[in-house]
Amino acid sequence: MASDYVLPNVPLPIRGPAERRTTIGVAAVERRARPPAFAAIDLGTNNCRMLVGVPSGGGFHVLDSFSRVVRLGEGLYRTGTLSDDAMDRAIGALSACAERLHRWQVSDIRAIATEACRQAENGAAFVARARAATGLPIETISPREEVGLAMESCASLINQAERRALLFDIGGGSTEIAWVRVPGPHGDTDRSLPQLIGYHTIPVGVVTLSERCAGCCESEMGFTAVVEEIKSLLRPFEQIHRIGQEIRQGGVRLIGTSGTVTTIAGIALNLDRYRRGAIDGAVLAREQVAGGLAAIRAMGPSGLAEHPCIGPDRVDFVLPGCAIFAAIEDMWPASELAVADRGLREGMLMRLIRNARAKPRRFQA
C-alpha cells in the first residue's frame, strides 16, 4: 500500500546514533514492547553495512547499525577473483553482523552481495562459504534488483519530481542508473509508487576505477579522459530513452545516492563536518554542485585527507567518484540535484516491512 512507503516530501525517518540503545539488557526489555524487528545487510565492493529497524509510521526506527570497510573488491580488476585476505575481511564483518543480530531476535533478514561477487570468478563460491561460516542468508543480487532497492529507499525523493526522475548510485564496483516515472495523483496501489521505465548498469565504480587508473583523475587531462570514457558507457542508455530531451522539457529530477554524491553535497554546503540531517533530502542548484565539485578537485590528496567530510580512508576513491559523477551530470544536465544519504540497506528494510504488512493475518478465535 502507498502508506507503507515514506510519505512524499518527508525524508526517510531514521533516528540518529544518539537515539540508539544497543546494550543487550536494554534490547531485551525493548523486545517485549516493540514491533517486530527487521535486518538488512549490504556487502558491497568496499564496505559491509547493516541496519536493524522496526516499523515507524511511513518508515522505520533504527535499533542498531554497523559499517566496516572490508575492501572485498581489492585487486579484482587485475586478477578477476576475490583475494583470500579480502574474503577473510568480509567474513569477519559478516560474522560481527550475525553476532549483533542475536540480541535483537529479528523477524526477517535480507543479506545481499553486489558487483564484486557478480564479477569475480570465485564470487559464488565465496557467497556459499560466507553462508556456511555466518549462518546469514546472503545472496548475490542482479543489477535490476539493486536498482529496485535504490528506488525503494529513495521513493519519497522520487515522488517530489513533477514527471520523471533519473536516479543514480555510484558504487564501489559498478554504477546503476534508473529512469523512473513519478506516480500521478491516483489512489490505487499500482499508480502510487514510482515505476521503473528503464535501467542501466556500467561495471565501473570508485574502487575499480581507482585501481585501474590510480592517480589519473588528479590531472585535468586525466580527469577529462575518464569523464569522456564514462559518458561513452552511458550514451547507449541516452540514445534509447532520450533523457536529455526530457530534461530540456522540464519536470525531471536528478537524484544521487552514494558516498560521492553526499561528499560533494557536504563540500558544496560548506559543512564543517558531515551531518546526515543536513545532507539527506537536500536539493542543490546546478551552480552549487559545480562549486562543490571544483572545490574537491582543487584540494589535492592532502587537502582531501584533512577535510572532515572526507578523511584519509576515502582519499583514493573521491576523485574517481567525482569523475563518474561529472560524466552523469554532463550527460544529463538537470537544473538541480536531490541528494540521498540512503541506499540498499534502507531499501531492503522498507521492502521487508512492506512485505510483512501485506501478509494475511491469522484468524484468532
pLDDT tens series, the chain, 365 aa: 222 323 233 344 444 443 343 434 444 545 556 688 999 999 999 999 999 999 988 789 999 999 999 999 999 989 999 999 999 999 999 999 999 998 888 999 999 999 999 999 999 999 999 999 999 999 999 999 999 999 999 999 999 999 999 999 999 999 999 999 998 764 334 456 799 999 999 999 999 999 888 788 989 999 999 999 999 999 999 999 999 999 999 999 999 998 999 999 999 999 988 889 999 999 999 999 999 999 999 998 888 888 888 888 888 899 999 999 999 999 999 999 999 999 899 999 999 998 888 876 554 44
Count of domains for the chain: 2
Residue 199 shares a structural domain with residue 131: no
Judgement on whether residues 252 and 308 belong to the same structural domain of the protein: yes
What pLDDT sits at residue 314? Answer: 86
The range of the structural domain enclosing residue 22 comes to 2-142
Is residue 356 situated within a structural domain?
no
C-alpha cell at 106: 529479528
E-only strand ranges, the chain: 38-43, 47-56, 59-69, 108-113, 138-140, 164-170, 175-181, 195-202, 252-256, 283-285, 336-339
Give the pTM.
0.85
Is residue 150 within 8 A of residue 169, CB to CB? The reply is: yes
137 and 160 assigned to the same domain: no
| Whether residue 39 is found in the same domain as residue 108 | yes
Pairing of strands 164-170, 175-181: antiparallel
Give yes or no: residues 52 and 124 share one domain. yes
Q: Are residues 35 and 175 in the same domain?
A: no
Q: How many Å apart are CA 230 and CA 235, to the nearest integer? A: 9
Paired sense of beta strands 283-285 and 195-202, if any: unpaired
CATH number where 310 lies: 3.30.420.150
| Co-location of 312 and 175 in the same domain | yes
Q: Which of 109, 142, 175 is the last residue before a domain boundary?
A: 142
Q: Of 316, 318, 326, which Cα lies nearest the Cα of 263?
A: 318
Within this chain, do residues 91 and 184 fall inside the same structural domain, yes or no?
Answer: no
Predicted pLDDT of residue 312: 82
Residue 360 has a pLDDT of 66
What is the per-residue pLDDT across 91-146, written as a single tens digit (0 to 9) for each?
999 999 999 998 888 999 999 999 999 999 999 999 999 999 999 999 999 999 99
Q: Are strands 59-69 and 138-140 parallel, antiparallel or unpaired?
A: unpaired
Q: 56 and 87: one domain?
A: yes
| pLDDT at position 296 | 94
**Tens-digit pLDDT profile for residues 346-356:** 999 999 998 88
pLDDT at 14: 42
Residues 30 and 129 in one domain: yes
Q: How far is CA 23 from CA 28, 51, 102, 105, 333, in A?
A: 9, 16, 12, 14, 47
